[in-house]
Amino acid sequence: MAWFKKTRKPIAAKEKASRVPEGLWVKCPGCAQIIYNKDLATNLNVCPKCAHHFRIGAADRLRMLFDEGEWVEHDRGLTSTDPLRFTDTKPYKDRLKTSIETTGLRDAVIVGSGRLDGIRSVAAAMEYSFIGGSMGVVVGEKITRAVERALDQRQPLVVVCCSGGARMMEGALSLMQMAKICAALARLDRARVPFVSVLTDPTTGGVTASFAMLGDLNIAEPKALIGFAGPRVIEQTIRQKLPEGFQRSEFLLEKGMLDMVVDRREMKATIAGALRFMGARRDPDALGTAAVPVALAAVSDDAVSR
Ligand SMILES: [Zn+2]
């Protein structure tokens, strides 16, 4: 019980009207530098002073990856049917409705195909502001279809992960997506079509435990939180203090969980270079020559069946 009790509500302080228009400047959480919003946008939302990577949306991700920021979107219309009629502090249906209104998306992932530095590719990017980028049935299905599309067209696949994990409002159905996507990725692997996984802040839970870590190349952005369970849960379980920088990209790279940590400004060039190394070819259409749609060097049947 408290010693003192406030019987009256404190007087609300009047906020002084600011002369600076809202949203023009951003304070960097890394170095406390005040950055002009437009400067930040032209720098791919990376702080020009300390290279802090700000979180960006799924559409911005795809814009960053695809040439001229153009892509053809797939399976846009899929929405969750709320199969469990789930309610926590508020009904899941309402949460979905709010997220659809605020993000303009139907669920937490955008899938598209286009050219990545001239290479015809399929890419998916997750949207954190849609219920924490959580993976429900729709996200699972869209990513699976993206994998299948990549397989059909023999085009490399890039998935940009940004997720809090499986969507608890869809219970076991969301967990099944892990197995479904992994099975599709296994088929992609057998067909020798490259898959690059890009892990951004944050990539946790069921997403880390499934496709995020299954790339032929797992690339992370600097200082991204990547893990399965949160540090507090782990500390309580193992009853030990966790080391400095635990679950951050650089730590995971050192421990062999990741292949590379790449600055966002070099991400596209790095992915394109890796895809070319893995056998992907530039689409001749992109260079304005005769159409020979060969995205990947064909592999003979002997090599495919292992
Ligand atoms: Zn900074």
CA distance 224 to 210: 18
Per-residue pLDDT of the chain (306 residues; tens, 9 = 90+): 567 776 777 676 666 665 656 679 999 999 999 999 999 999 999 999 999 999 999 999 999 999 999 999 999 999 999 999 999 999 999 999 999 999 999 999 999 999 999 999 999 999 999 999 999 999 999 999 999 999 999 999 999 999 999 999 999 999 999 999 999 999 999 999 999 999 999 999 999 999 999 999 999 999 999 999 988 899 999 999 999 899 999 999 999 999 999 999 999 999 999 999 999 999 887 654 433 344 444 444 444 443
Q: How far, in Å, from the CA of 33 to the mean position of ligand 1?
A: 6
Q: Which residues, other chains included, contact 173 with Cβ-Cβ below 8 Å and sequence gap of 6+?
A: 83, 84, 136, 137
Q: The tokens of 131 are what?
A: 């219920």
CA 130 to ligand 1 center in whole angstroms: 26
| Strand 157-163 versus strand 119-126 pairing type | parallel
CA atoms within 13 A on the CB side of 163: 31
- Ligand 1 centroid–CA 261 distance in Å is 18
Report the distance separating Cα 184 and Cα 173, nearest Å. Answer: 17
Cis geometry, peptide bond prior to residue 202 (ω within 30 degrees of 0):
yes
pLDDT value, residue 23: 77
What's the pLDDT score for residue 17? 61
Cβ proximity of 142 and 75 under 8 Å: yes
pLDDT for the residue 7: 73
CA–centroid distance, 224 to ligand 1, in Å, is 15
48 alpha carbon – ligand 1 mean position (Å) = 7
> In the beta sheet, which residues pair with residue 116?
119
Q: How far is the CA of 42 from the centre of ligand 1 (A)?
A: 15
Q: How far is the CA of 22 from the centre of ligand 1 (A)?
A: 20
- pTM for this predicted structure: 0.85
Between the CA of 46 and the centroid of ligand 1 the distance, in Å, is: 8
Distance 28 CA to ligand 1 centre (A): 5
Structure confidence at residue 230 (pLDDT)? 86
Report the alpha-carbon distance of residue 146 to residue 110 in Å, rounded.
10
Please tell me the distance between residue 37's alpha carbon and the centre of ligand 1 in angstroms.
13
> 26 CA distance to ligand 1 centroid (A)?
10
> What pLDDT is recorded for position 231?
86
Please report the pLDDT score of residue 18 as a whole number. Answer: 57
Task: Using the CB atoms, write b or e for 191-217: b if 16+ within 10 Å.
Answer: ebbbbbbbbbbbbbbbbbbbbbbbbbb
Going from the Cα of 29 to the center of ligand 1, the distance in angstroms, rounded, reads 6
Q: How far is residue 172's CA from residue 95's CA, in Å, rounded to a whole number? A: 19
Ligand 1: centre distance to CA 80 (Å): 38
